[in-house]
Chains A and B, each alone.
Chain A
């Protein structure tokens, strides 16, 4: 069954280098060496032992630290490529990525886009690399922590002298242990918080074994972190949406399945002003002109109580008022609404006066809301204006003479008015666009005189929800615990044994040999036990 039986009688798993129990070298190479390799206590790394089925082969591939390091290097190199040019996410959204990269960055940009580096972090191969790292972490850790745990658990107190002889710190003397010396050593060790076990006249003092688990705790944290990152792609766990909302508008909040609405009750952009604000700002104001002090959307949050069907008239109940400022989001449930961007002075309404061209007399003002027009505007006394057509983004006329609009946005509004007056009860037709009036059906007596423009700001809000944050946080904390656990303590062991009229003493630590030497020196001070010497001089 592939077991290796040691001379001491302990049965070790195949592939074991040093007997788990007594420490005798079990392989020819280990027997020849002057100092034993104490990595993983000379235990059998499982991956090295079975290599028959495809499962074992896959397992062994990921178990290799060398493979793991290669994966990390590949990820680092790959991730760095994504930073050469901006990712697709950051380029202007009104330009297609196909053309953007070539237009802006030339041939290099074209290839960059063709290879797929413009969306590198979401590409299959990059995610696959990260996944490979996760798999490597799990398997490589399992393959090492289990044998190490076994070896440290089954280690005997009276290690074979061949094991002790091959330790880095070792001394041997023809003498016998004095009970008083041992007593003193024991006391000193206890003071230094060693755990002492004694068997058959042999002593093993050990402390801080837990520090050996540090790297594995660290890996557990990393795996939890990766798992949290993976959850981001699960529906409902992570939402990142953008909402453009005009002042006065009430809109459904994307990502909330229609449950919540937000109203923009006003957008404010404040700049620092010389004289009003602290003097320290003066220099910057002089240098760049204007310095923004505050971007703010006064928001009202509503819940829709009639949210069964899309399109159903919402029944809104107010939930809360909040001033959304940069870094001061409005929070509700697990959502946060951030101030992201703005556009100032979008056209909202236009004021016209019905004016007699000859006398210049005005017969009332018409306010056309660019988002909600009326069919007729009654001005009284027989004066009335009918709206025949509205073209929010006027784009010229068709062959048939019909005005057209390029888009539904009021970028360049144009109107077809019918002006009714006591003199012209059937009305006169006037086509009005910004800074231009046409009279398509003949000259008119009246005109629509432009008076005023109402504008409003548009605010962009980012709606974000991230349920993976706590998981990422826990992963990060465990990661750090592992780092601390592995870094700030050393696993130290001291073996003392008398056999056939010889005193053997050996010491081992996973790091900071100097510290161990000092400790041993203090423990042995004033006893006849020889102080072990460091046989690996560097």
Chain B
């Protein structure tokens, strides 16, 4: 091969490798903060939790139905506000959209007390080891993941919700049959 051409190829190759390394470094550094955070469209990570009645709930068992996955705490005011709407709509959409409320790790007494006070009948689980919260990257409460029947995340809502908003969310994930 022409020596000059060979040199050009060589230089191009070396520069390409260096550029690749630089771009990769910048990319990994820029995305470090958000790495691992879930987004709409992602597969909802599977988990298993035991509810207050001792029943196990595995997310993948809900395939075919929409899931309203709500992370909450007893001290959180907006959580308290949206719970009655969740209760009402959970009954209305029974069999289509399931509500699964995950407490972020308080005592059984507090959660039970709360559930009784608000007359909640949907399954409530306590994430004692905070593993599920960590997997889902929960920061502010309440955070709600709307999960489609195929197990992908449709929406992530980090705010207290009104009845109409919850209804709209339920509609968006209910199975289409």
Residues of A within 8 A of B (CB): 1-2, 46, 50, 53, 55-56, 58-59, 122, 124, 127-128, 131, 134-135, 138-139, 142, 227, 230, 233-235, 251-252, 254, 258, 309-314, 371-375, 387-393, 404-408
Tell whether, in the assembled complex, residue A311 and residue B129 are in contact, meaning their CB atoms are under 8 Å apart.
Answer: yes
Task: Tell me, in angstroms, the Cα distance from A53 to B29 when the chains sit together.
Answer: 32
Q: Looking at the complex, which one of B4, B24, B109 makes contact with A375 (CB distance below 8 Å)?
A: B109
Residues of B near A134 (CB, < 8 A) are 18, 21-22
CB-CB contacts of B71-97 with A at 8 A, as 1s and 0s? 001110100000000000000000000
**Given A59-B15, A131-B22, A314-B129, CB of A374 within 8 Å of CB of B48:** no
Binding site for A on B (CB under 8 A): 3-4, 7-8, 11-12, 14-15, 18, 21-22, 24-26, 28-30, 32, 35, 45-50, 58, 73-75, 77, 104-110, 112-113, 125, 127, 129-132, 134-135
Using A58-B15, A311-B132 as known contacts, say yes or no to A122 and B48 having CB atoms under 8 A apart.
no
Chain A residues near B49 (CB-CB < 8 A): 311
- Since A55-B11, A56-B11, A390-B107 are in contact, a sample of 16 more A-B pairs with Cβ atoms closer than 8 Å, ordered by chain A residue number, is A1-B3, A50-B7, A53-B8, A128-B22, A138-B14, A233-B28, A235-B28, A251-B129, A310-B47, A311-B47, A312-B48, A313-B50, A371-B107, A388-B113, A405-B74, A407-B75
CA distance A309 to B56 in the complex (A): 12
B11, B45, B113: the one contacting A59 at CB < 8 Å is B11
| Inter-chain contacts of A375 with B (CB < 8 A) | 109, 112
Contact status of A131 and B75, CB under 8 A, knowing A46-B7, A389-B113 = no
**Nearest A residue (CB) for B114:** A389
Find out whether the CB atom of B26 lies under 8 angstroms from the CB atom of A373: no
- Closest-by-CB residue of A relative to B128 is A311
**Given known A252-B130, A373-B107, contact A310–B113 (CB-CB < 8 A):** no
**Interchain CB contact under 8 A, A230 and B25:** yes
Shortest C-beta distance, B71 to chain A (Å), equals 12
* CB <8 Å contact, B109 and A309: no
B29 and A127 contact, CB distance less than 8 A:
yes
Whether the Cβ atoms of B47 and A309 lie closer than 8 Å is: yes
B48 touches A55 (CB 8 A): no
Distance in angstroms from A308 CB to nearest chain B CB is 9
Residues A408 and B73 in contact in the complex (CB < 8 Å), given A252-B131, A373-B107: yes
* Complex: A369 Cα to B1 Cα, angstroms: 82
Nearest A-chain residue to B25, judged by Cβ? A230
Q: Do residues B25 and A131 form an inter-chain contact, with CB atoms below 8 A? A: yes
Q: Which residue of B lies closest to A59 (CB)?
A: B11
B110→A310 contact, CB < 8 A: no
A230 → chain B closest CB, angstroms: 5
Q: How far is the CA of A405 from the CA of B110 in the complex (A)?
A: 12
Least Cβ–Cβ distance between B12 and chain A, in angstroms: 5
Residues of A within 8 A of B58 (CB): 309
- For B12, what are the chain A residues with a Cβ–Cβ distance below 8 Å? 55
A233 touches B109 (CB 8 A): no
Enumerate chain A residues within 8 angstroms of B14, measured Cβ to Cβ.
Answer: 138-139, 142
Q: Which 6 A-B pairs have the closest CB atoms?
A: A373-B109, A405-B75, A310-B131, A233-B28, A131-B22, A311-B47
Whether A408 pairs with B15 at a CB distance below 8 angstroms is no
A135 adjacent to B18 (CB under 8 Å): yes
Instruction: Verify A393–B15 contact, CB threshold 8 A.
Output: no
A126 nearest in chain B by CB position: B29
CB of A124 within 8 A of CB of B30, answer yes
CB-CB nearest in chain B for A252 = B129
Q: Shortest distance in angstroms between A392's beta carbon and chain B's nearest beta carbon? A: 8
- In angstroms, Cα B27 to Cα A131, docked, is 13
In the bound assembly, the distance between CA atoms of A227 and B21 in angstroms comes to 9
Min C-beta distance of A67 to chain B, whole Å: 15
CB distance from B50 to the nearest CB of A (A): 8
A372 to chain B minimum Cβ distance, whole angstroms, is 5
Residues of A within 8 A of B75 (CB): 391-393, 404-408
Asked if B107 and A372 sit within 8 Å, CB to CB, the answer is yes
Residue of B nearest to A138 (CB): B18
- Listed A/B pairs (12) with beta-carbon separation below 8 Å: A1-B3, A59-B15, A251-B129, A310-B132, A310-B135, A311-B49, A311-B127, A372-B107, A374-B109, A390-B113, A405-B75, A408-B73
Least CB separation from B136: chain A residue:
A310
- Check if A310 sits within 8 Å of B45, measured CB to CB: yes
Q: Would B109 and A127 count as touching, CB distance under 8 A?
A: no
CB atoms of A373 and B18 under 8 A apart:
no
**Candidates B4, B21, B125; contact of A50 at CB < 8 Å:** B4
Residues of A within 8 A of B32 (CB): 122, 233
Q: Find the A residue at minimum CB distance from B103.
A: A408
Q: Which residues of chain B have C-beta atoms less than 8 A from A234's C-beta?
A: 28
Hey, which chain A residues are within 8 Å of B135, CB to CB? 310
Min Cβ gap A294→B in Å is: 30
Kindly list chain A residues whose C-beta atoms are within 8 Å of the C-beta of B73. Answer: 408
Whole-angstrom distance between the alpha carbons of A391 and B75 in the complex?
A: 8
Closest CB in chain B relative to A50 CB, distance in Å: 7
The answer on a CB contact under 8 Å between A122 and B15 is no
When distances are taken between beta carbons in the complex, the residues of chain B under 8 Å from A233 are 25, 28-29, 32
Measured between alpha carbons, how far is A397 from B49 in the docked complex, in Å?
33
A235 to B108, CA, bound (A): 36
Query: Given the complex, which residues of A lie within 8 Å of B28, measured CB to CB?
Result: 233-235
CA distance A393 to B76 in the complex (A): 12
Partner of B21, one of A53, A55, A230: A230
Give Cα A373 to B112, complex, Å.
11
Could you tell me if B15 and A55 are in contact, using CB atoms closer than 8 angstroms?
A: yes
Cβ contacts under 8 Å, A58 to chain B: 15
